Amino acid sequence: MSIFRGILIFLTFHVSSALADVEIGGTGLDCADDPACINRMHPDIPMAARAAPGERIIMRGRDAEDMHLDPDGFSVAETSPVDQFGVVHPMVGPVYIEGAVAGDVLAVTIESIDPGPVGYTSASSFGFAGDAVGSEDRFVVWRLNDEYAETGAIPGVRIPNASFPGVMATMPGEDLLATVLDREAQLAEAGGAVYTPDVDMAQPSSLCGEEGSQPGQCLRTIPPRENGGNMDIRYLKAGVTVYLPCQIDGCGLAIGDFHYAQGDGEVSGTAIEMDADITVTTRIVRDGPDLSHGPHYEGPASLLNIPSSRFYATTGYPLKAAGEIPRDIAYLANAKVATLPNLSKDLNLAAQNALVAMVDYITSRYGYDRTQAYIIASVAVDLRIAQLVDVPNVGVTALLPLDIFVD
C-alpha cells in the first residue's frame, strides 16, 4: 500500500467516524418510557446525547400529545380520545453540542423531515377565535403520506405536505428561567392567559414531577420565549437554518411538536399534528446575532410561498359591536373597551375579523360546516399583517390556497 493511499484511508475513516450520525428518541411506549423525551424546560435537565458540530442528529419524535392513533379506528370525534394536556409537548433531547458554551449562538440546519403515517387536528376552546367563528369542539384524524394529508371528516380536501417542527429550543439559563417564572406569575395573577409550571405528566419526572427536585421551576412548553420553544413558524422546513441562543454550556438542543401542515396562525389550536423523524446539523457561531428578542432564521425564499397556484383572501380591521369586550383583553378590565365600536391598532381583533370572514366564505362557497371550515383555516389559511400604520384600523388578511380543494 502506498503512503498516499494509507493516509487517504486514515483520513477517510477518521472524518467519517467524527461525523457519524447521532440517533436519539422514539423508544418506549410513551414519553415517560423514553430517556430522550422531555416536555418541560430547565437548565438542570440531564443531556440525552452528545453531538459534535457538523454531525447529523436524527431525532425520532412524538406528536404533541403523545397519542398512538389508528386511522382505521375512526376519522372524527367530538373531542380528543385521550386527555393528555400535561404531556404537551414531547421533545427529543436535550442534546449537548460539544464545544458550545453559554453566550454562543447555535445555528441548527434542518436537513430533512420524515412524517409519520397519521395525524390529527382539533378544534377546541384552546383555539384563537372559536367562539367568534361559531365552531364546536371536534377532533379529526388525517391519513398522511409523503405528498398530502386526507381525512374522511373533511371530504374533498387534500393538504400538501409542508412538514416542520413546532418546537425548536435550547435550554434556558438560570437568568432567563428566573425572569420567565416571575413575569408569567405576574401575568397569571392579573388574570392573563398563561400556563404556569405544573407537575402533571412532567418529564423528566425526577426534576419536574411531583416528587422531583424542582417541581415548581420547570417551564411549560406552550409559549415560545427568548430561547425558542413552541414558535409554530410554518417556514421552518427542510433547508432552513434557525439561530438559537446558547444559555448553558452545550446549549441543550431540543426539538418536537411536529406538524405535517399549518396555516399562519394555527387558529383552531392545532395544526396537523404528527410523529416524525427529523435530521439536523449544528454549527457554533461566536459573536452571533443579538437574539434577545427571540430566535432568527434563514432559508430559501421559495419556502415563503403558499402551496397553491391560486388563492382567495379576506381582510379584517379592529371593529366590533358596541358593548362587546374581546375575550383576549377582558383581563385588563378597561371600562372604555365595551363602549367603543372601534379599537385603535388592535391586531388581535383585526385577525379575528379576517378569520370570521374566511370561515364565512369557506362555508358558503364549499358547503362545509363552520367547524370544518375552522379546521381548514387552522391547517391551510395564512393570517398575514397587511399594514400597521393606518390608524386606527390596522389590517390583517387571510389567504386561502385554492388548490387544496380537489373535489
Domain ranges within the chain, ordered by starting residue:
3-302, 311-404
* CA–CA dist 51, 98 (Å, integer): 6
- Report the share of the chain in percent with pLDDT over 90: 91
Using DSSP, state whether 175 is helix, strand or coil: helix
pLDDT at 17: 43
Considering the domain delimited by 3-302, tell me its CATH architecture. Sandwich (2.60)
State which H helix or E strand residue 282 sits in.
strand 273-285
pLDDT score of 71: 85
pLDDT band at residue 246 using 50, 70 and 90 as cut-offs? very high
Query: 272-292 pLDDT, tens per residue?
Result: 999 999 999 999 999 999 999
- Residue 109 CB coordination number (10 Å): 16
Residue 389 has pLDDT above 60, yes or no: yes
pLDDT for the residue 5: 42
Which three-class secondary structure string do you get for 184-215? Answer: HHHHHHCCCCCCCCCCCCCCCHHHHCCCCCCC
Convert 339-364 to b/e letters by CB count within 10 Å (16 or more is b): ebeebeebbbbbbbbbbbbbbebbbe
**Residue 271 grid coordinates:** 395544526
- Pairing of the two strands 57-61 and 22-24: parallel
Model confidence at 11, in pLDDT bands (50, 70, 90)?
very low
Are 307 and 162 in contact by the 8 Å Cβ rule? The answer is yes
To which H or E segment does residue 130 belong?
helix 130-133
- Residues 50, 46: Cα–Cα separation, whole Å: 11
- Which 3 state secondary structure label does DSSP give 240? coil
| Residue 407 pLDDT class (50, 70, 90 cuts) | confident
What pTM value is reported for the model? 0.93
Is the pLDDT assigned to residue 378 strictly greater than 70? yes
Q: Which CATH architecture has domain 311-404?
A: Roll (3.10)
pLDDT for the residue numbered 19: 62
Whether 6 shows a pLDDT value over 80: the answer reads no
User: Residue 350 above 80 pLDDT?
Assistant: yes
CA separation for the pair 202, 198 (Å, rounded): 7
Burial of 181 (0-12, 13-18, 19+ CB in 10 A): middle
CA distance 375 to 270: 9
Cell numbers that stand for 126 in this block: 384552546
